[in-house]
Chain A
Amino acid sequence: MNFSRRTKIGAVIAGAAAIALLATGCSSGGSGSSDASGTTIKYWASNQGTSLANDKEVLTPVLKKFEKETGIKVDLEVVGWNNLQNRINTAVTSGAGPDVTNIGNTWAPYLQATGAFLPYDSANMKAIGGKDKFVATALATGGQEGKALTSVPLYGLAYGLYYNKKMFADAGLTPPTTWEEMVADAKKLTTPSVWGMGLEAGSYTENVHFAFITASQNKASFFKGEKADFTQDGAVDGVKRYLDLMQTDKVVDPSNAQYTTGTEASADFAKGKVAMIINQDNANALLESNGMKADAYGVVAIPAPVGGKKISSGIQGINISIYKNTKHKDAALKFVKYMTSAATQDVLGKPYVSIPVLKDVKPTFTDDPALAKTFQDIYNDASAPYPLVPLEGAFETNVGNAVNNLFATIATGGTVSTSDVKKALQTAEDKTNAAG
């Protein structure tokens, strides 16, 4: 075919224009200025409130105040728990992510091992207000021992056993002090319309936390040094004990196996469909928003089995990290300093029901002094630290998913024996060690 000269030139111009258009579309993030004021930093917040929308509501005035004080704008995105670890991992891999992010504090060691986060060396630590302002146990979660921390604590959380006061009173029961008592109480309270207990049985983060807590109660752990060792008898027994709540004790509704967001069991509790839940203390906000008054429920520590170690929680919490390749380092450090300042912690303590991570700060997460004492005691005395090793992240995903699948088997009518649990944990262990 013979094109006319004009057509040919027209075609070339069109092609060049197309490529130029694509090139502008593909241009990466703009220039970063070293002057902090006037910049915008990107911040990923985790879901600590009753919903993602609620988090945005709570944080916006706080961020606006920061902008007023420093002139730095904060571009907020709230990421749900079923996605947060994934998003953080992707940002680590691609190098394109926010400037500052919340992390689950148990992820701190493995995220530190990736080398993608800014270490809080003496200079950076000074810029955010110094390490002495933090509670020692909380600060210790910031990374592996002996290495510069890559995260600092933001909110402290602890697990508790929430029980419906009226249901307990009607049945003539007192809050349980051992695991066996808890199961017996739950069985008594399970009726055709009410289940004794609600669990987030489809959430891998919740499941791995309880696997850890029950194992700690059995004086077992999931690691031998830095290598994964998931099939210790105490760990296997702990997971089986937890699964049996649905399987043999039958105090948990099988459809809880589909609860993934961390909020569904609490919603059931608030609506009076279950008598007890085991949840982090930020359930208070959720229960309130679902219409349950604070005097309708009580909290005790999650009991250990008879003869077990009195561990009721892991040292839970949220830490805050800065990505190493941020183009706004000074602005990010200023932001972390602001978020970990006593004033901001005071404001956020209540909506996030956070146990203080700063020394000499009065807990604002509840007006009830008894409740405050319960959680503070659990946080200080009955919490076990998660393994501070690089494989911790893989441990969470693999063990969490293994327990998810075991619950799914039970819910869909299958049986899970102790050897099934051991097999599942062995597979998780192999996968975890391969990731190291």
Chain B
Amino acid sequence: MAVMTDPPRLATPPPLGVKSPEPKKRRTAGWWLPFVLIAPAVVLELVIHVIPMVVGVWMSFIKLTQLYIANWSAAPFLGFGNYEVALDFSGAQGKALVQSFLTTVLFTVLVVGISWVFGMAAAVALQRSFWGRGLLRTLFLIPYAVPMYAGIIAWKFMFQQQTGAINTILTSLHLVDPGQKPFWLIGSNAIVSVVVVAIWRMWPFAFLMLMAGLQSVSEDLYEASALDGAKPFRQWRSITLPGLGPVNRVLLLVMFLWTFNDFNTPFILFGGNQPPAGDLISIHIYNTSFVNLNFGFGSAMSVLLLLFLLLVTGIYLFIGNRRSKDA
């Protein structure tokens, strides 16, 4: 007859409702390891992100202009002076800020929306294996892999009015009169060029994330729904989209933040010559700070931008969390 011994502790979990006895308060060997492992990351985070951010916030409260830039401690304290100028929408600076903000909102909505649509379409199209899928996947990811400067400079050349490829193609398709070639890098068309380039860079990222997310959506669901007579669009709406819920939540937020803050695209595309139609907010703040040497004001605008983005993110996550609780 076998002797019944107590089963080892790991084999059976404690019965529901009963708390396992508290382990003795004794530091396990190597308690310090997790802290040591994350210490470099924490230090770098503080030095590269947090401390400069705090300094930036402090800068927004002082009059840090060209007269004081070489000697910060001499700069007079302005309190909310810089903020007042930034938020005075009847003044030149405030009006320019609002204009830039609205341009950036339009830019972000267009870029995130269209990139997401392209990414979703490509991810769904390439969901099932077919001949040439690998090649197409690689092709689609190229814009994201190309070094940013090289890619955007290539677009800048293409958008040149007289010699660029875009106008040459449009002229050969007879969409544009050769004597009246449109400008893409100055004037009101500038928003089109910056949106196109941003979408070109952003949509492979959406594609990549959605493709990865689709891996976790089970094939069986599609088969079952097909048996029930569901058309592809219904399948997409009822299976794919909910299945990608968590991925989409994060993806849209990340895309929104990156696009809203995009500095590289307008800077490389337009150089120092920012057209008002393409004046995105990060470039606008840069122009005020570096080009006008008015760092206090630039910092105030940056803090306002930070608050706005925090607000949007907060609302977004709050709504997202409530939805997932209801699900």
Q: Residues on A close to B: CB < 8 A?
A: 2-3, 5, 8, 11-12, 15, 18-19, 22, 82-83, 85-86, 89-90, 92-93, 95, 110, 113-116, 202, 204, 254-255, 257-258, 260, 324, 390, 393-394, 397-398, 401, 404-405, 408-409, 411-414, 426-427, 430-432, 434-436
Contacts and interface: CB of A to CB of B under 8 A. Distances in A.
B40 A18 contact: yes
A412 B93 contact: no
B291 A116 contact: no
A11 B292 contact: no
Contacts of A3: 30, 33
Contact of B295 (A85, A93, A411): A93
A411 B162 CA distance: 13
Nearest to B95: A427
A319 B125 CA distance: 62
B291 A202 contact: no
Interface string B274-304: 1110000000000010111111010000000
Contacts of B44: 22
Given A255-B161, A408-B186, A434-B85, A115 B291 contact: no
26 contacts: A2-B28, A8-B33, A11-B33, A15-B36, A15-B39, A86-B272, A89-B291, A92-B66, A93-B69, A113-B66, A114-B69, A202-B273, A254-B183, A258-B183, A324-B70, A393-B66, A394-B292, A401-B273, A401-B274, A411-B183, A411-B186, A412-B187, A427-B92, A431-B92, A431-B292, A435-B292
A116 B70 contact: yes
B67 A113 contact: yes
Given A11-B33, A86-B290, A431-B93, 4 more contacts: A11-B37, A116-B69, A401-B274, A408-B186
Contacts, number: 130
Interface of B: 28-30, 33, 36-37, 39-40, 43-44, 65-67, 69-71, 85, 91-93, 96, 160-162, 182-183, 185-189, 271-276, 288, 290-295, 297
A401 B284 CA distance: 13
A319 B39 CA distance: 49
A5 B161 CA distance: 66
A15 B37 contact: yes
A92 to B, nearest CB: 6
A406 to B, nearest CB: 11
A115 B183 contact: no
A434 B294 contact: yes
Contacts of A114: 66-67, 69-70, 293
Nearest to A430: B92
A96 to B, nearest CB: 13
A3 B30 CA distance: 8
Nearest to B33: A8
B152 to A, nearest CB: 16
A398 B92 CA distance: 12
Nearest to B276: A405
Contacts of B37: 11, 15
B299 to A, nearest CB: 12
Contact of A408 (B93, B96, B183, B291): B183
Of the listed residues B33, B70, B162, the one surrounded by the most CB atoms of chain A closer than 10 A to its CB is B70
Contacts of A83: 272
A436 B294 CA distance: 8
B271 A82 contact: yes
Nearest to B44: A22
B92 A257 contact: no
B291 A397 contact: yes
Contacts of A430: 91-93
B275 A405 contact: yes
A59 B216 CA distance: 63
A411 B187 contact: yes
B271 A260 contact: yes
Nearest to B159: A258
